[in-house]
Amino acid sequence: MSSSAWLIRGVRPYGEDAVDLLLRDGAIAEIGTRLQADDAEVLDAGGLIALPGLVDLHTHLREPGREDAETVQTGSRAAALGGYTAVHAMANTDPVADTAGVVEQVWRLGREAGLVDVAPVGAVTVGLAGAHLAELGAMADSPARVRVFSDDGFCVADPALMRRALEYVKAFDGVIAQHAEEPRLTQGAQMHEGELSARLGLAGWPSVAEEAIIARDVLLAAHVGSRLHVCHVSTRGSVDIVGRAKADGVAVTCEVTPHHLLLTDECVTGYDPLFKVNPPLRTAEDVEALRTGLANGTIDAIATDHAPHAMEDKECEWAMARPGMLGLEQALSVAVEAMIETGLLDWRELADRMSVRPARIGQLDGHGQPIEVGRPANLVLLDPDVRRVVNGADLASRARNTPYAQRELPARVVATFLRGRPTVLDAKAQL
């Protein structure tokens, strides 16, 4: 770790009163006004807001296997530029992260890149095939210390297998993160099933295919007394089910993506596969319910589902395109537009949904900590007052499949600190 100290002048933690922050030895050493530290580098942060470094529960880094779309290095840079200090790398790589060897490899690549803490997610089943449990304990015991397990991309559809997975990970306090999609209800599905899919002639992905699995899984989690995390909830009904389960005391958490907070199925009208994603973009009514659910805490976290894809997998016919969109670099801006500018969340609450709770769900000690003396200096500094038009060519990701191209979004990450060391300064990555 870098031993150099940083003095951040005039920054507003959580958008509150301006203070100086002194970062030293990886921690927040002092908070006050007119701090002095002759050995420290000074960053004038007037007008900027400081939040705890963001934590993503759902990132596809594509390495190993699809290094043409993203690598741990390029994805880490995108994450840092987006204000993240930790990301969970999803297991659907090639080979699949279903052994201690693969999760350890991804973890080491993350350490070498050094821009964010990369926490590998382990597959629930061997090869994501939904048939046999992967060696979850070995992954938990590896240096990668895996605590989140997911077959994301696929649903653990077999209820007996899901039950066993929920039970088994209790031994090391793991959590199953379910990609909720009843496969028999979504065969060949291309977009949200509704008025628009009927008009566009695209096979529908009905809301009930997500809700049925969530309903089943909260019942299973309650029955066996396990912790359940639901990936990327996208429908009003899903929010209702999770809300009721929480009220009943079930240990369930869930996440929503930035794109589901902003975009609707109307985006599909031109058949541009940049807007193809799984679960699909839903209706304005769903967007409203997701924002409300995030505001009242039913939804715990914003998670990007950052999914880089090579150009040829997007510049093609809708049905042949791969689902998924970039998210890391724009997530905070989208959150500001959807939640801050609408008055649904204040900055402290946004930090809760983008840092505190995701770190807790993923059990990442050292992340999601409050901005207080003695805490790890994992921070993002953002300018809330700028608005920028997104340009795909400017992105740090190797892929270009952003759904926000040419869209004007508020706020910009100016600096990111990982344990007191800047990974982003002046909106530029430091490696």
Chain positions contacting other proteins, by CB under 8 A: 190, 193-204, 206, 270-272, 312, 315-320
Residue 307 region by backbone torsions, left for phi larger than 0, else alpha for psi between -120 and 50, else beta: beta
Q: Which two tokens stand for residue 119?
A: 């926490």
Q: How far is the CB of 200 from other proteins (least distance, A)?
A: 6
Q: How far is the CB of 320 from other proteins (least distance, A)?
A: 5
* DSSP codes, 283-306: -HHHHHHHHHHHHHTSS-EE---B
Peptide bond into 384 cis (omega under 30): no
* Residue 214 amino acid letter: I
Say which entry of other proteins, Zn ion, none residue 152 contacts (CB below 5 to 8 A, set by partner kind).
Zn ion
Say which entry of other proteins, Zn ion, none residue 202 contacts (CB below 5 to 8 A, set by partner kind).
other proteins
Choice between 400 and 412, CB closer to other proteins: 400
DSSP letter assigned to residue 115: S
- Strand pairing of 6-13 and 49-52? parallel
- Strand pairing of 301-302 and 252-256? parallel
Q: How far is the CB of 203 from other proteins (least distance, A)?
A: 7
Say which entry of Zn ion, other proteins, none residue 154 contacts (CB below 5 to 8 A, set by partner kind).
none
* C-beta separation of 98 from 123 below 8 A: yes
Whether residue 305 lies in the annotated active site: yes
Say which entry of other proteins, Zn ion, none residue 264 contacts (CB below 5 to 8 A, set by partner kind).
none
Choice between 151 and 352, CB closer to Zn ion: 151
Query: Out of 152, 217, 286, 352, which residue is the one contacting Zn ion (CB under 5 A)?
Result: 152
Q: What angle do CA 413, 416, 421 make, to 5 degrees?
A: 160
Say which entry of other proteins, Zn ion, none residue 389 contacts (CB below 5 to 8 A, set by partner kind).
none
The residue count for binding Zn ion (CB under 5 A) is 2
Choice between 12 and 216, CB closer to Zn ion: 216
Choice between 201 and 343, CB closer to other proteins: 201
Residues, the chain: 431
Give, as ranges, the residues between 161 and 200 that touch Zn ion (CB under 5 A): 179
Q: How far is the CB of 232 from Zn ion (least distance, A)?
A: 6
Say which entry of Zn ion, other proteins, none residue 56 contacts (CB below 5 to 8 A, set by partner kind).
none
> In 3D, which of 10, 84, 13 has the Cα closest to residue 42?
10
Q: Which two tokens stand for residue 102?
A: 């693969």
* DSSP codes, 371-403: S-TTSB--EEEEEEEEEEE--GGG-SSS----T
| Residue whose C-beta lies closest to Zn ion | 179
- Strand pairing of 408-418 and 421-425? antiparallel
Which strand (E) or helix (H) includes residue 32? strand 27-32
Say which entry of Zn ion, other proteins, none residue 283 contacts (CB below 5 to 8 A, set by partner kind).
none
Query: Of residues 98, 151, 217, 305, which has the active-site annotation?
Result: 305
Q: How far is the CB of 391 from Zn ion (least distance, A)?
A: 27
Choice between 42 and 316, CB closer to other proteins: 316
DSSP letter assigned to residue 127: G
Contact segment (CB under 5 A) with Zn ion among 152-160, 329-337, 351-359, 394-402 equals 152-160
Choice between 77 and 309, CB closer to Zn ion: 309
Q: How far is the CB of 256 from other proteins (least distance, A)?
A: 24
Please state, in angstroms and rounded to a whole number, the distance separating the CA atoms of residues 41 and 39: 7
* C-beta separation of 182 from 209 below 8 A: yes
Q: How far is the CB of 152 from Zn ion (least distance, A)?
A: 4
Contact segment (CB under 5 A) with Zn ion among 151-159, 267-275, 307-315, 342-350 equals 151-159
> In 3D, which of 201, 151, 205 has the Cα closest to residue 182?
205
What's the Rg (C-alpha) of the chain? 21
**What residues make contact with Zn ion under the rule CB under 5 A?**
152, 179
Give the active site residues.
305
